[in-house]
């Protein structure tokens, strides 16, 4: 029996969104369409996929606490068991899709992949895709914390059911979504009719691409009058120069230790002194994962960092980061 090289990690896409946003329709499409991919789907316990499929697994969305002193460090206990089994059958599928319910914070799911050696060795988080019922979101985005969290965690947001609302309304919702999450790619759909490849983002959720596409979103927003200040915002930092790696590490650890519960995602590309490669950091709450982003080549050495979270003090974060720069 030949096994995959351990460097062939399996991408995992996390699909979130409220009941009624269109997840079941989307999952059914993923399982029945001829896209040439073998996708293992882990559906939540209320899943109604209704297809008897060898690669559909039912999960009960259990949160396990990590006894490491951080109250926001929780992982999906049920996933550890399920993924442990899937790990043994790596050559049977190309992608894993995990569906979470609308009420669940996708944080613990993401953290599950960062916390465990076995997970890190076999899987990588390709990204979080949030499916939004546009009509429902317009009514509830101001008062529903769960919608805001799902938007804040997303790498890709699909505004579904666009046929039920006007273009103005979609534009307005998109602007609100953008003010929460500066980095996500936002797509519009009717009846989740969107290419599967776009949902699974085959080829990865390219951090660079996301950072390059929307640099102007890193600037402070002009707040409209008709909605109150959101507590979930994106803070972007963009600085030419190089960081002292130790200082950067210490600063990020200090920030995430103090504000971990409020930081939903952080993503950054850094130029560090003595390193000819780009340093990519991605975080969820208190967990930060580092990756080698390849050589800078002819690109200017600079640092781009985005925090998405609650109660973020923009000035303090910028000032704190600037202290990490090599003078």
Q: Applying CB under 8 A, which residues contact other proteins?
A: 1-3, 54-55, 57-58, 60, 62-68, 75, 77-78, 80-81, 85, 88-89, 115-118
Say how far apart CA 130 and CA 146 lie, in whole Å: 12
> Measured from the CB of residue 98, what is the shortest distance to other proteins in angstroms?
16
What is the smallest separation between the CB atom of 7 and other proteins, expressed in angstroms?
15
CA–CA dist 302, 241 (Å, integer) = 5
Nearer to other proteins, 93 or 124 (CB): 93
Around Cβ 234, how many Cβ atoms within 10 Å? 24
CB of residue 86 vs other proteins: minimum separation in angstroms?
A: 8
Shortest Å distance, C-beta 63 to other proteins: 8
Q: Distances from the Cα of 166 to the Cαs of 134, 170, 186, in angstroms?
A: 10, 6, 17
Q: Are 142 and 224 in contact (CB under 8 A)?
A: no
DSSP 217: G
Closer to other proteins by CB, 37 or 80: give it.
Answer: 80
**Can you name the residues that pair with 305 across neighbouring β-strands?**
237, 268
Q: From the CB of residue 273, how many other CB atoms can be counted at a distance below 10 Å? A: 15
Shortest distance (Å) from residue 58 CB to other proteins: 6
221, two tokens: 């927003």
Distance CA 281, CA 269 (A): 6
């Amino acid at each position: 029996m030949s096994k995959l090289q351990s460097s062939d990690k399996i991408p995992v896409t996390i699909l979130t969104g409220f009941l009624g946003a269109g997840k079941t329709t989307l999952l059914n499409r993923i399982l029945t369409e001829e896209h040439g991919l073998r996708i293992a789907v882990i559906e939540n316990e209320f899943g109604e996929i209704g297809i008897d499929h060898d690669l559909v697994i039912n999960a009960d969305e259990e949160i396990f606490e990590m006894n490491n002193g951080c109250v926001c460090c929780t992982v999906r206990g049920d996933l550890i068991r399920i993924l442990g089994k899937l790990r043994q059958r790596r050559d049977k599928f190309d992608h894993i899709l995990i569906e979470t319910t609308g009420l669940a914070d996708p944080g613990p799911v993401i953290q599950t992949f960062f916390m465990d050696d076995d997970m890190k060795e076999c899987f990588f988080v390709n990204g979080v895709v949030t499916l939004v019922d546009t009509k429902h979101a317009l009514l509830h985005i101001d008062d529903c914390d769960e919608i805001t969290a799902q938007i804040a965690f997303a790498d890709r947001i699909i505004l579904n059911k666009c046929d039920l609302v006007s273009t103005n309304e979609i534009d307005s919702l998109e602007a609100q979504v953008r003010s929460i999450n500066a980095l996500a790619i936002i797509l519009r759909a009717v009846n989740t009719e969107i290419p599967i490849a776009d949902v699974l983002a085959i080829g990865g959720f390219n951090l660079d691409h996301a950072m390059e596409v929307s640099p102007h979103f890193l600037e402070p927003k002009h707040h409209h009058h008709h909605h109150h200040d959101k507590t979930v915002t994106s803070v972007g930092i963009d600085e030419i120069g190089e960081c002292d790696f130790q200082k950067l590490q210490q600063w990020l650890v200090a920030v995430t230790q103090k504000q971990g519960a409020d930081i939903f995602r952080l993503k950054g590309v850094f130029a560090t002194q003595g390193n000819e490669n780009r340093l990519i950091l991605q975080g969820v709450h208190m967990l930060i994962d580092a990756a080698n982003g390849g050589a800078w080549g002819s690109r200017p050495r600079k640092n781009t960092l985005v925090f998405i979270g609650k109660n973020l003090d923009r000035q303090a974060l910028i000032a704190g980061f600037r202290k990490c720069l090599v003078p």
